Structure 1
């Protein structure tokens, strides 16, 4: 009798692959900013051109989200994941080969586009293969490994580029892409990962409300996080010390994710969203009222915990709200998150340039209260209209 393959991959194998890919995705995404100076010194680029590489990467990372979601719903999650990993590896290799501005810019655009497919597809796979508490715990684990990737990139990329070679920072994700492809070799497409979806299912009124809420969440959680390290430097911390203290965000994610694994079995998602929103308010409170290195460090730590509790609950909501267009919905969700972060950074740039970080975090406190009310009441309304959630 021919060997029978399960339709849903074994959880242990799938978990290992997803965690590693989550780590890899965030390592590449956060690897370039710490080495901007070394990159400009080691190539023909000036500093502003090096910054443009990061901007272009982020732009293509974001704009590819809806396209990857449509492809994932149409052709399957693992096909998209494998294709993106091949493209990401090729983009990383191309980044090593060139040191002139134009070809390196194209290489980083390609890399951003390809790496942008990974995390939303991981979220969608968890939505396909997990339910209830197990899904929430899977999201928490994914956040831990993604945060570890962010932390390692933040702490090591600058040193690797300065003391060894900037190409090494791009070579590691290329090797990681090969390893990630190998980790997926025995996995088969989850059941129902391809469906006769309708784009309209991802654009229902409640979906649009979710995208609007996560736009605001992205502005507060990711957009204002950008200012923690500069605020620390403004308060008198050295560049190195500010970078280490800023990694309190990653510590907060890890601690919050461990707590989240316990809470999901006892507290509803609506209450987790509300509690996470209050934690977000608490994150901005000390930096708005008593700006100092200590308060900024506390803000980083609590933003990380908010990410683990509130944002992972929002991710779970995104995987549940439209099962007939799950990948497309998750991709719009991620796009809205990054769009909100970019909008917040753009709007607050002039205030940040003047060093008024307490004012920025004060606005964050006010809008966090608004976000908490909107997210909690909207999820409660959706849950009431959708029995079983």
Structure 2
């Protein structure tokens, strides 16, 4: 008789404080370089184009590493991957501080992106392993809040730190944070692993593929088009400093939306929550598509944040439920699809942005978000009928 333990027998419950801090840390590092690109180029031998490539390669390795981390997490354990990634993040951040020439710094930032890319999907997987129902939904909302705070603080503080202290400080702080994160995990033990290993086929079922396609479009709208809010504000006459502050309406939308989500999860099913979030997304694009102005762009940023907190956290919950036997692999492919969609949207709309046709870009977002609302809610309802709780 086979007495092997299940793959996720008695998974370790990571404290909420550690989950929130690591979520904050991962997004602070991811969004910390872009606000100081001009200063980085002026303070080193890098051209502005080369400085931009640091961000592009970081994002590329952040996304490409997702499926790999998922496979490793299902094979060797969540905490093992989390700790290894944090150690790698420390090494990558320290290398980023030590080098100032283009090629070594490009390699350092690419490696750092690969390491930090493991953190958020592993946190989602841990929430899926150790929380159920409303508790899981609230944990996902909290993770949204703290990751948004990391994005906001990086956006507001990275440029100031680089200007008044040194650009290296922005890369050094995540290294210090990673040390603190490792310390917070010191007493946790990895759950026993069964002999069945990674069930990669379970992560590629037709319904999983449908989920990845949906989140690809969601990433294009939530993250890809968000890129144009601040440039649109600047093109409409808002100063560089004020446009950055107004762009942080996205973070305010995430925080308030996540607080609202804690109430909504007790009253609505996930299918309804996906629909509510998609409706907020459509409403958010409406003013910028038909009445472009600094106010409408700010409202769009806020609505994108609220949709992120309501719709995307619901999508994350779906990703953690859809294939429990391959949860880490599924979540990693989910996150990979999200970032791939964001990159595709930015690439496909680059010519319109070059011509400052931001209203047209947001109009495309409006029509696509309406289609997304129908497809996402219909697909989730179909999946729920086939897989009743």
Q: Which of the five TM-score ranges fits, normalised by the shorter chain?
A: over 0.9
Cα distance in structure 2, aligned partners of 1:191 and 1:225? 41
Q: Which deviates the most, 127-136 or 181-190?
A: 181-190
The alpha-carbon deviation at position 8 of structure 1 amounts to: 4.5
Partner of 1:209: 210
Partner of 1:197: 198
Partner of 2:151: 150
Cα distance in structure 2, aligned partners of 1:7 and 1:271? 32
8 A contact 1:274–1:372 mirrored in 2: yes
1:91-170 residue pairs with structure 2 within 5 A?
A: 91-170=92-171
Partner of 2:321: 320
Cα distance in structure 1, aligned partners of 2:83 and 2:338? 24
SS in 2 for 1:69: helix
Partner of 1:239: 240
SS in 1 for 2:388: coil
SS in 2 for 1:266: coil
The alpha-carbon deviation at position 193 of structure 1 amounts to: 9.1
8 A contact 1:73–1:193 mirrored in 2: no
Question: Structure 2: where are the runs of 5+ without partners?
Answer: 1-8
SS in 1 for 2:31: helix
Partner of 2:228: 227
Cα distance in structure 2, aligned partners of 1:45 and 1:195? 49
Residue 38 in 1 paired to residue 70 in 2? no
8 A contact 1:233–1:242 mirrored in 2: yes
Partner of 1:268: 269
Partner of 1:3: none
Cα distance in structure 2, aligned partners of 1:190 and 1:239? 49
The TM-score with structure 1 as length reference comes to 0.96
8 A contact 2:76–2:193 mirrored in 1: no
8 A contact 1:76–1:193 mirrored in 2: no
Partner of 1:359: 360
CA distance change for structure 1 residues 302 and 142 in 2, over 3 Å: closer, same or farther? same
Partner of 1:20: 21
Cα distance in structure 2, aligned partners of 1:175 and 1:181? 10
The alpha-carbon deviation at position 188 of structure 1 amounts to: 2.0
Cα distance in structure 2, aligned partners of 1:377 and 1:191? 38
Cα distance in structure 2, aligned partners of 1:158 and 1:199? 42
The alpha-carbon deviation at position 163 of structure 1 amounts to: 1.4
CA distance change for structure 1 residues 89 and 217 in 2, over 3 Å: closer, same or farther? same
Question: Structure 1: where are the runs of 5+ without partners?
Answer: 1-5
Cα distance in structure 2, aligned partners of 1:18 and 1:185? 14
CA distance change for structure 1 residues 125 and 192 in 2, over 3 Å: closer, same or farther? farther
CA distance change for structure 1 residues 76 and 313 in 2, over 3 Å: closer, same or farther? same
Partner of 2:3: none
The alpha-carbon deviation at position 187 of structure 1 amounts to: 1.5
Residue 184 in 1 paired to residue 188 in 2? no
The alpha-carbon deviation at position 7 of structure 1 amounts to: 4.0
The alpha-carbon deviation at position 197 of structure 1 amounts to: 3.1
Partner of 2:337: 336
The alpha-carbon deviation at position 196 of structure 1 amounts to: 3.1
Cα shift readout 1:26-76 (whole Å, capped 9, x = no counterpart) = 000000000001101111101100000000100000000000000000000
Cα shift readout 1:72-131 (whole Å, capped 9, x = no counterpart) = 000000000000000001000000000000100000010000000000000000000001
